[in-house]
Structures are given as structure tokens and as C-alpha cells.
């Protein structure tokens, strides 16, 4: 297929690379031209503008940071789309933003799918992402050749916006588990017990999820080099708490985790790994 791609960060660059390697004709644009150089050197076609990407592509994929980024980009893409084109967004944004973009495109005969992903950088690099998408069920045959190159778990959750709700639920559970790991590490430390050994024991039991393996391992090693920067989880939590407020869903545990992420940001640690929730607890203990 002729595929456009915009957004070449930790996730987007390897995802675009997989599509190129799979034999699709890739058209790219980036605000910083150097971000796309890796792909252009391997055969991707560089375009002068988002509208040019849309004009050259059957499907345009985007992976940006925030709702405003996506909505602004959609305005630039729209003039280039022909009726029947498709925009697939892999970003984590507000469900309401996804619905607004879909409504704008519908007037032009263009479809929109929100397809946030989970699995982090390693999942993007290994093409093992979990893709949770929202959009018309009739689009599934067009999306399958795209999604199968990028992920292993592919689920249509519902109409446009449902993918973002699913991603909010994913982030809610994951970051709450990171906070639980931090509290376990803090308890072990305060009791004079080596958390590395506690974690080793826990990994063999019913509390041994991937979060304990990855983020707990970083806490035990006191390595806060970012796998995913904490500021991104903070952004995601802002989205999910806003959605909870909109639909009237009480989230007492998430509200507490949200405050811990706020404390992390206040300490200036947004560019560190979210395992930094452990030193947030340590800082509180010293007060």
C-alpha cells in the first residue's frame, strides 16, 4: 500500500521502519527533517508538507504527543486527502479529540481510526505491540495488513474514541502497579530489607507481573534512566482523569496515583523514568 507516516519518536520511528521493511511505499514528513532521515535513506519518500503526505497515500499514520498536536496536524492533512482515504492515529490523546477529528473528516468522506498502542519502545522495535482501535468495523480488512506488521494483539474496542478509552484503562492499571512497586520498595527499605531480594521472591509468586519485572528492576538497581519518560505517563493520567470526570466514574486509587505523579513532576523529574515514583516516596519520608 501507499502509506504516509508522521511522528518519529521512540515508538513512531521503528513502527514506520517495519512498514517500509514489509514492502509498503512510505511517504513521510517531519517538522525536523532529520527525524525522517533514517527512513529516507532506506527508501521512504520525503514530502514537503502534511497535505502532500495525504495526497500521496491511501492511509496516513500519525504518532504524536498530545491532543492539540493531533488536531493541528489533522487540519494540515485534510486538504490533501481524497474521499475514501483513511487516517490512523497511534497517539495517546483524549477520546473527545479523536471524535472531533473524525467528525471533521466525515464531512470530506475521509475515515479516521484511533489506534493507541501499548508495549513501549521494545514493543515497537520488536513489532509486538498491543493495538486497541476505535472506528468503523468495516475498516478491519484495510487495517489488518497494517496492524499485523506492527503488533501481536489487535482488538477493535468500538467506535471512534473507544481505542483511547481502552488506552486510558491500560495506563491506569500499569501506572498504579508502578506506584505499588514503589511503595513495596519503600516498605522494604524502611524495614531494613533488601528490595532486590524481595522482588526476586515476588517474581515467583502471584504478584509477579511485567511491571514488577521491568519497573521494579529499575527501582532495585536505582536506575531511573527513562524507558518511557514520566512526563508522558503524567500526560496520560491527565487524560484519563479528565475522561473520568466527564463520565462521572469514581477512580479513588487512580486519584491517589495522579497525586504522586503530580509530586514527581513538581520535583522536576519528568524526563526520568516513571520508576522515579520511588524517590518521590523517599522525598516525602524526609519531610
Judged against a pLDDT cut of 90, whether residue 245 lies above it is answered with yes
Residue 178 and residue 86 in one domain: no
Residues annotated as catalytic are 167
- Per-residue pLDDT of 95-104, as tens digits, reads 999 999 999 9
Picking from 140, 159, 178, the residue at the C-terminal end of a domain is: 159
Residue 127 and residue 220 in one domain: no
Residue 137 and residue 198 in one domain: no
Residue 138 and residue 44 in one domain: yes
Q: What is the pLDDT of residue 49?
A: 97
Picking from 136, 159, 182, the residue at the C-terminal end of a domain is: 159
Q: Could you give the number of structural domains in the chain?
A: 2
Mean pLDDT of 227-250: 95
Judged against a pLDDT cut of 90, whether residue 64 lies above it is answered with yes
8 Å CB contact between 180 and 197: no
Provide, rounded to the nearest whole percent, the portion of the chain with pLDDT above 90.
95
Residue 93 and residue 205 in one domain: no
Residue 180 and residue 146 in one domain: no
Residue 126 and residue 171 in one domain: no
The CATH code of the domain that includes 135 is 3.40.50.720
Judged against a pLDDT cut of 90, whether residue 209 lies above it is answered with no
Give the burial class of 9: count Cβ atoms within 10 A of its Cβ; 0-12 exposed, 13-18 middle, 19 or more buried.
middle
Judged against a pLDDT cut of 90, whether residue 191 lies above it is answered with yes
Residue 121 and residue 173 in one domain: no
Closest residue by Cα to residue 148 from 167, 127, 170: 127
Residue 205 and residue 280 in one domain: yes
Judged against a pLDDT cut of 90, whether residue 44 lies above it is answered with yes
Per-residue confidence band for 287, with pLDDT thresholds at 50, 70 and 90: confident
Residue 178 and residue 272 in one domain: yes
8 Å CB contact between 185 and 222: no
Give the structural domain span for 50. Answer: 2-159
Picking from 129, 159, 189, the residue at the C-terminal end of a domain is: 159
Judged against a pLDDT cut of 90, whether residue 208 lies above it is answered with no
Judged against a pLDDT cut of 90, whether residue 171 lies above it is answered with yes
Q: Which of 18-22, 146-150, 176-180, 209-213 has the lowest mean pLDDT?
A: 209-213
Residue 44 and residue 83 in one domain: yes
Other CB atoms within 10 Å distance of the CB of residue 90:
24
Q: Which of 40-44, 118-122, 167-171, 268-272 has the lowest mean pLDDT?
A: 118-122
pTM recorded for the entire structure: 0.93
Per-residue confidence band for 222, with pLDDT thresholds at 50, 70 and 90: very high
Q: What is the pLDDT of residue 257?
A: 98
Report the alpha-carbon distance of residue 132 to residue 165 in Å, rounded. 9
Mean pLDDT of 95-124: 96
Q: What is the DSSP string of 213-270?
A: HHHHHHHHHT----SSBHHHHHHHHHHHHHHHHHHT---HHHHHHHHHHHHHHHTT-T
Residue 174 and residue 134 in one domain: no
The mean pLDDT of the chain is 96
The CATH code of the domain that includes 260 is 1.10.1040.10
8 Å CB contact between 202 and 180: no
Amino acid at each position: 500500500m501507499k502509506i504516509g507516516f508522521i511522528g518519529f519518536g521512540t515508538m513512531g520511528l521503528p513502527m514506520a521502519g517495519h512498514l517500509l521493511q514489509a514492502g509498503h511505499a512510505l511517504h513521510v514528513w517531519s517538522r525536523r527533517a532529520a527525524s525522517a532521515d533514517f527512513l529516507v535513506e532506506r527508501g521512504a519518500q520525503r514530502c514537503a508538507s502534511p497535505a502532500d503526505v495525504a495526497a500521496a497515500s491511501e492511509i496516513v499514520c500519525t504518532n504524536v504527543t498530545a491532543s492539540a498536536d493531533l488536531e493541528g496536524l489533522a487540519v494540515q492533512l485534510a486538504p490533501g486527502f481524497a474521499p475514501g482515504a483513511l487516517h490512523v492515529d497511534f497517539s495517546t490523546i483524549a477520546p473527545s479529540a479523536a471524535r472531533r477529528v473524525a467528525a471533521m473528516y466525515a464531512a470530506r468522506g475521509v475515515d479516521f481510526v484511533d489506534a493507541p498502542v501499548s508495549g513501549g519502545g521494545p514493543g515497537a522495535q520488536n513489532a509486538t505491540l498491543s493495538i486497541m482501535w476505535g472506528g468503523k468495523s468495516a475498516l478491519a480488512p484495510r487495517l489488518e495488513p497494517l496492524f499485523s506488521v506492527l503488533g501481536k494483539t489487535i482488538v477493535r474496542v468500538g467506535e471512534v474514541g473507544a481505542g483511547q478509552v481502552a488506552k486510558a484503562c491500560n495506563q491506569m492499571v500499569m501506572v498504579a502497579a508502578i506506584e505499588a512497586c514503589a511503595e513495596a520498595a519503600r516498605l522494604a527499605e524502611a524495614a531494613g530489607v533488601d528490595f532486590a531480594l524481595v522482588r526476586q521472591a515476588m517474581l515467583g509468586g502471584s504478584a509477579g507481573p511485567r511491571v514488577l519485572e521491568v519497573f521494579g528492576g529499575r527501582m532495585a538497581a536505582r536506575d531511573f534512566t527513562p524507558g518511557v519518560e514520566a512526563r508522558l505517563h503524567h500526560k496520560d493520567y491527565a487524560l484519563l482523569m479528565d475522561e473520568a470526570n466527564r463520565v462521572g466514574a469514581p477512580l479513588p486509587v487512580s486519584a491517589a496515583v495522579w497525586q504522586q505523579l503530580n509530586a514527581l513532576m513538581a520535583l522536576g523529574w519528568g524526563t526520568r523514568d516513571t520508576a522515579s515514583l520511588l524517590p518521590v516516596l523517599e522525598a516525602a519520608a524526609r519531610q
